[in-house]
């Protein structure tokens, strides 16, 4: 039957008998040869489910193609399940897609692997995702010290290294729920993320070992917490979520503050802020774009080691540094405006991302939440 459907594959399989006609049981040397090719392609992969697809022959519509190949696919699937215990066909969400071309060459496409977790970033000198040096297109040059990056290593790279090593994957994509500036810290429970691993050979990973290897490389720069396997839907959920966030801003003021500074700062709670694209990002965000964002909570913590501390919970997409300074009138109202004193954000910490990812359900790792108040905060030196 195989050669009846794909007669051009006869030289590859070195079959001399006449092909069968119709859709008779797909047995014989051609069937066995194709089965062995498929098993050989599957050998490197860990899988529980698979699906087999055949390239459509010329002149076949979809219905005819399915009608002609159904018996062959069923027979191959049953034989693969018999030869590899614990695997079975899955047409909806297979671990591996087996593709048979018209010349009967076989290839396999493993489904991506998705790992969900949170990260804390303690350093103000590393980014969350790789920051490619575009002048050399990431290939490395004297300007970037042959790293291909403008700064780093990033959390994505530090995590991808052990994941790719243990999974045998080819590359990763890092999907985080927003991102903080490189010079901002991500504290509290951490920022949810999904790491997407392309073409993994292994799908069962020792996740505790992954976190240990990450920590060995990252040291005190960052942490990864609650790492676990998740789904494609979790990736979509992270990318589409618009979560409120709580920030702590360390502020330098150009002059003495009014006696009622705490009350003025608290009065920002509930206000809607009109923000134009900040000057520092308008080269990539576009000039003149306006956005309205709401300040949900506003707390004045006073002076700590010579710096003023302000905390605010804001809607997703709020530029908090500009919410402090006003950005030359491009953000209104701003903290500087309500205090009546020019201010700048000397350092910024993300204290909480107010969103619980779907993989943190029953049996998830318990991640400590941040404290509510910070009456005695040390000035962050790194």
| Euclidean distance between CA atoms 124 and 117, whole angstroms | 21
Catalytic residue among 88, 90, 181, 183: 181
Report the helix count and the strand count for the chain, using DSSP H and E.
11, 16
- Contact residues for 8 (Cβ-Cβ < 8 A; gap 6+): 102, 103
Structure tokens at 337: 């405006």
The DSSP 8-state label assigned to residue 4 in this structure reads H
**In contact, 175 and 196? CB cutoff 8 Å:** yes
Q: Tokens 């489904």 — which residue?
A: 111
- Contact residues for 145 (Cβ-Cβ < 8 A; gap 6+): none
Residue 181: active-site member: yes
Burial 27-48, CB ≥16 within 10 A → b, else e: ebebbebbbebbeebbeebbbe
DSSP string, 156-200: HHHHHHHHHHHH--SEEEEEESS---TTEEEEEEEEEEEEEEES-
Instruction: Collapse the DSSP code of 89 into the 3-class scheme (helix H, G, I; strand E, B; otherwise coil) and give the result.
Output: strand
Structure tokens at 24: 């008779």
Q: Which of 124, 127, 179 is nearest to 152 (CA)?
A: 127
- β partners of residue 174: 195
Main-chain dihedrals φ then ψ at residue 100, nearest 5 degrees: -110, 120
Q: What is the dihedral of CA 72, 78, 83, 87, to 10 degrees?
A: 120
Q: Which helix (H) or strand (E) holds 40?
A: helix 29-42
Q: What is the dihedral of CA 228, 232, 233, 239, to 10 degrees?
A: 90
**In contact, 216 and 381? CB cutoff 8 Å:** no
**Residues tagged active-site:** 181
């Amino acid at each position: 039957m195989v050669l009846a459907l794909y007669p051009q594959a006869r030289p590859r399989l070195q079959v001399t008998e006449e092909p069968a006609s119709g859709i008779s049981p797909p047995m014989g040397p051609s069937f066995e040869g194709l089965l062995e090719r498929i098993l050989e392609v599957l050998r490197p992969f860990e899988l529980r489910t698979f699906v087999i697809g055949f390239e459509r022959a010329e002149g076949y519509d979809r219905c005819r193609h399915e009608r002609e190949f159904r018996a062959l696919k069923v027979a191959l699937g049953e034989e693969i399940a018999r030869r590899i215990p614990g695997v079975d066909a899955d047409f909806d969400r297979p671990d591996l897609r087996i593709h048979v071309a018209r010349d009967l060459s076989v290839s396999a496409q493993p489904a991506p692997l998705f790992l969900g977790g949170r990260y804390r970033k303690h350093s103000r000198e590393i980014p969350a995702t790789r920051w490619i040096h575009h002048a050399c297109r990431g290939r490395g040059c004297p300007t970037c010290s042959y790293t291909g990056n403008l700064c780093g290593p990033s959390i994505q790279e530090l995590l991808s290294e052990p994941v790719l090593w243990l999974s045998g994957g080819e590359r990763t994509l890092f999907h985080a729920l927003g991102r903080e500036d490189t010079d901002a810290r991500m504290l509290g429970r951490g920022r949810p993320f999904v790491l997407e691993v392309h073409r993994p050979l292994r799908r069962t990973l020792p996740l505790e070992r992954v976190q240990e290897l990450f920590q060995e490389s990252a040291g005190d720069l960052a942490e990864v917490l609650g790492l676990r396997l998740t789904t494609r839907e979790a990736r979509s959920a992270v990318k589409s979520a618009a979560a409120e966030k709580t920030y702590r801003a360390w502020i330098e003021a150009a002059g003495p503050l009014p006696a009622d500074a705490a009350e003025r700062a608290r009065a920002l709670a509930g206000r809607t802020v009109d923000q134009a694209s900040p000057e520092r990002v308008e080269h990539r965000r576009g000039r003149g774009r306006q956005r309205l964002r709401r300040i949900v909570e506003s707390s004045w913590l006073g002076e700590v080691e010579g710096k003023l501390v302000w905390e605010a919970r804001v809607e997703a997409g709020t530029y908090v540094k500009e919410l402090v300074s006003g950005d030359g009138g491009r953000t209104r109202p701003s903290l500087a405006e309500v205090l009546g004193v020019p201010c700048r954000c000397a350092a910024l910490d993300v204290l909480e991302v107010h969103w619980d990812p779907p993989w943190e359900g029953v049996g998830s790792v318990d991640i400590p939440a941040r404290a509510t108040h910070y009456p005695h905060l040390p000035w962050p030196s790194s």
